[in-house]
């Protein structure tokens, strides 16, 4: 696949990874969650993101997770698993496993341990892109990479035929404008953070890889529709409301909060992977209050 054959857009939820007490993937729970998200109208699904606890899963769990989501999606929406490793070899193996499982693309991140030079980070992305024919969304995140890529480096990566998009987590709108001005015709730009989604789409972004959309898909989809219709005051008002949920998992553990929220909605997604702890009673109360606040307004806009 090349950028001319597959592009992505819209609201693409980051999925939790439902696990039983033995660490096995709960494929039935995953299928129910995916079915409900697709019925709500999401535009794709991404397992193995931060919400999916990728850093806490072994390779067998990752393969089983991707297989479960591909089976659940059944071709109805694209599946774009996260691929992340500290070593290039590991990322290449994950990308090939995603291809073999039937994924439609990947979201590629570098999970660095030692600091790396920009040239080394760039080489990691290019080597993985050379090793697969899947379309790739770059996820540039200085927290994980331990260094940020320059706009010039991103422009060089944009020349690769398999690199079709970028999710930049810098939250710097000036940087996003520079990326859009430099490579906006070559790379689709996606929002990475919940407080900036409307801003990214106002600047020309194509959508939002959204952790909250796993729990509040209707509100996230409504935000996307308002942005597509250039109804910016309403979009900003809705983004402010959606932010209440993000404030909760900013205070507590991300996976614990999202899993607790889904449990409150009837999904038996299990607890976070140890050494993480389940959400505390205090956190669960905050989650319930935030969900009530987020869903108090209209969930759809026409």
Q: Where are the domains of the chain?
A: 10-231
Ramachandran angles phi, psi of 46, nearest 5°: -125, 100
Token pair for 199: 């801003």
Neighbours of 227 (CB within 10 A): 25
Q: b or e along 142-173 (b: 16 or more beta carbons within 10 Å of the residue's beta carbon)? A: eebbeebbebebbbbbbebebbbbbbbbbeee
- Residue-wise pLDDT for 114-167, tens only, equals 999 999 999 999 999 999 999 999 998 877 877 788 999 999 999 999 999 999
Specify the CATH architecture of the domain 10-231. Alpha-Beta Barrel (3.20)
* pLDDT score at 5: 52
Helix residue ranges, H only, the chain: 27-40, 59-73, 88-101, 118-131, 142-145, 151-157, 173-183, 197-202, 217-228, 232-251, 254-264, 281-294
pLDDT single digits (tens) 249-261: 889 999 999 999 9
What is the average per-residue pLDDT within 272-286? 96
Q: Which two tokens stand for residue 272?
A: 């976070």
Pick from 246, 257, 250: which is nearest to 282 by CA? 257
Count Cβ atoms below 10 Å from residue 130 Cβ, excluding itself: 11
- For residues 81 and 48, the answer to whether their CB atoms sit within 8 Å is yes
60's tokens: 């067998």
């Amino acid at each position: 696949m090349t950028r001319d054959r597959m592009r992505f857009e819209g609201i693409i939820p980051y999925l939790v990874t439902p696990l039983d007490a033995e660490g096995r993937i709960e494929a039935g729970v995953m299928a129910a969650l995916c079915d409900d998200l697709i019925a709500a109208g999401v535009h794709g699904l991404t397992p193995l993101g931060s919400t999916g606890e990728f850093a806490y899963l072994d390779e067998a769990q990752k393969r089983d997770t991707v297989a479960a989501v591909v089976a659940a999606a059944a071709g109805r929406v694209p599946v774009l698993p996260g691929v992340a490793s500290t070593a290039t070899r590991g990322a290449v193996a994950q990308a090939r496993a995603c291809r073999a499982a039937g994924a439609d693309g990947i979201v590629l991140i570098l999970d660095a341990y030692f600091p790396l030079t920009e040239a080394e980070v760039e080489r990691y992305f290019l080597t993985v892109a050379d090793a697969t024919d899947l379309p790739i969304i770059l996820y540039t995140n200085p927290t994980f990479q331990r260094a940020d890529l320059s706009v010039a480096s991103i422009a060089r990566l944009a020349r690769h035929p398999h690199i079709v998009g970028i999710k930049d987590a810098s939250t710097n709108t000036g940087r996003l404008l520079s990326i859009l001005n430099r490579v906006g015709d070559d790379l689709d730009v996606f929002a990475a953070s919940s407080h900036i989604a409307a801003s990214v789409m106002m600047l020309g972004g194509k959508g939002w890889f959204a952790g909250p959309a796993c729990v509040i898909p209707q509100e996230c989809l409504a935000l996307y529709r308002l942005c597509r219709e250039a109804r910016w005051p309403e979009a900003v008002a809705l983004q402010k409301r959606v932010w209440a949920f993000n404030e909760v998992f900013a205070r507590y553990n991300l996976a614990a909060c999202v899993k607790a929220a889904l449990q409150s909605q009837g999904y038996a997604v299990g607890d976070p992977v140890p050494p993480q702890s389940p959400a505390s009673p205090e956190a669960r109360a905050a989650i319930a209050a935030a969900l009530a606040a987020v869903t108090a307004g209209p969930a759809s806009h026409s």
